[in-house]
Amino acid sequence: MDRGKVLEFLRQVPFLQRLPGSSLRKLAEVVQVKQYEVGEYVVREGEIGDGIYFILEGQVEISGSASIEEGNHSDLLLKQYDYFGYESGGSIQQATVVALSKLTCLVLPDSYSSLLQPKSIWYADESPGGLSLMEHILCLEPLEVDLFRGFTLPDAPSFRQVFGGQLIGQALAAASKTVDCLKLVHSLHAMFILAGENNSPIIYLVHRVRDGNSFATRRVDAKQNGYVIFTLFASFQKVEEGFEHQEVFLPHVPAPEMLLNIEELRERRLADPHLSMEYRNKIAKKKFIPWPIEIRFCEDYHFSEQSPPRCVLAYASDLIFGGISLNPHRRRGLKIASLSLDHSIWFHRSVRADDWLLFVIESPSASGGRGLSFGRMFNRRGELIMSLTQEGLIRKAKQQNEDLNSKL
């Protein structure tokens, strides 16, 4: 059987979609094709199993002491994309499996079962210690099919509550692991519901809304302490050729190599004699935590006085986006509170997350305690990579003892 077709099938097995692509490619190389006629025994209760069976075509019926005890007869019939034998692992089979139709299975021998337990959801062969901070942030723990757990790392950006970009990036990572990897995200829409707690894990539950030939849709609910704090809708599409045009162009700005990074800007501000000593002391006392994404500003970016790969980009898009709507209202001594309310991204073209991108942001309006921001990301060639919108809550800061649990 053609290995390309085997790989395409394995990518659609829900149980395997939590694995990194490198593991799936290895699985495609070692699985064995086995065929059975109607009524033929695939495995018998009490025998030693050959491995893990993935149903390519046909249906099977499971009977035996283990299945009878479950008492749920709807679970006794398995069809395409289902699997059995995973718990056996070379031990005695606990049930009998019989083909109900002409049956084709892909069998993973027990000697390769370690491929089902990679060191991360992104890399099969690399230990977590070798990953960057950004990869650590997006590295989720698979709990079961469509269920993942994420954490806020001590070195990750935090703003009293879970950073909104972290929720977007981790939720998109969870959704991506449940979709055929031939499909890429082309749009996402997120709603921030409650402020997340930095010290509590985040559970991401993925809902498979639709799986079509060209498109797939996922909804992801992020939960803490039993409450949904964030919801993301994402649409994925198989890459295809089509009409193309672009009516917006790359602005004339300095090359990124000519600009200062965040830490260099901070040092310059600490030594700026035009700023008050009180303000400079405040900046000096504040612990500086480098961002996991390097950002350099084409225009001078003020910390508190008036002045702007896809999961990685989704994470980075929230770092400075909403704050732009505050710029016209900043003045000395004014304390402002801001929170993301909703966030949308359209991915127009493929992109490398390890190269420079220009993020152009504007805020056309603010009213009713909400600020609206529009954004575009360009690559070095001037191609429009992403379009973004965000609405955020912007208010004069409340007293610290007021309730911050709800964002509304």
Residue 340 a catalytic site member: yes
| pLDDT the model gives residue 57 | 96
| pLDDT the model gives residue 306 | 36
Residue 390 a catalytic site member: yes
Q: Are 231 and 222 in contact (CB under 8 A)?
A: yes
| pLDDT the model gives residue 99 | 95
d(CA 230, CA 232) in angstroms, rounded, equals 7
Q: Which of 17, 67, 120, 340 is catalytic?
A: 340
Q: Which of 88, 93, 373, 390 is catalytic?
A: 390
Q: Which of 318, 325, 363, 373 is catalytic?
A: 318
pTM (predicted TM-score): 0.76
Q: Determine the topology of domain 3-116 in CATH.
A: Jelly Rolls (2.60.120)
Q: What is the pLDDT along the chain (408 residues), one digit of tens a residue?
A: 788 889 889 988 888 877 877 788 899 999 999 999 999 999 888 887 788 999 999 999 998 655 444 444 445 899 999 998 876 455 667 789 999 999 999 999 988 888 887 656 665 555 555 678 888 888 888 888 889 999 999 888 777 889 999 999 999 999 998 887 778 999 999 999 999 999 999 999 999 999 998 999 999 999 999 999 999 999 999 989 999 999 999 999 899 999 988 888 888 878 888 778 887 887 787 777 777 888 888 865 444 433 326 788 888 888 778 778 888 887 777 787 788 899 999 999 998 878 899 999 999 999 998 999 999 999 999 999 999 999 988 888 776 555 545 555
Q: Determine the topology of domain 256-396 in CATH.
A: Thiol Ester Dehydrase; Chain A (3.10.129)
| pLDDT the model gives residue 68 | 44
Q: What's at 111, amino acid-wise? A: S
Strands lying side by side in the sheet with 96-99: 41-43, 96-99, 60-63, 77-78
CATH architecture designation of domain 133-238: Roll (3.10)
| pLDDT the model gives residue 90 | 55
- The ranges assigned to domains in the chain are 3-116, 133-238, 256-396
Q: Please report the DSSP string for 111-138 in residue order.
A: GGGGGGS-SSSS-SS--GGGS-HHHHHH
∠ CA 62-63-67, nearest 5°, is 90
The DSSP output letter for 100 is S
Token pair 């099938």: residue: 9
**Does the fold of domain 256-396 match that of domain 133-238?**
yes
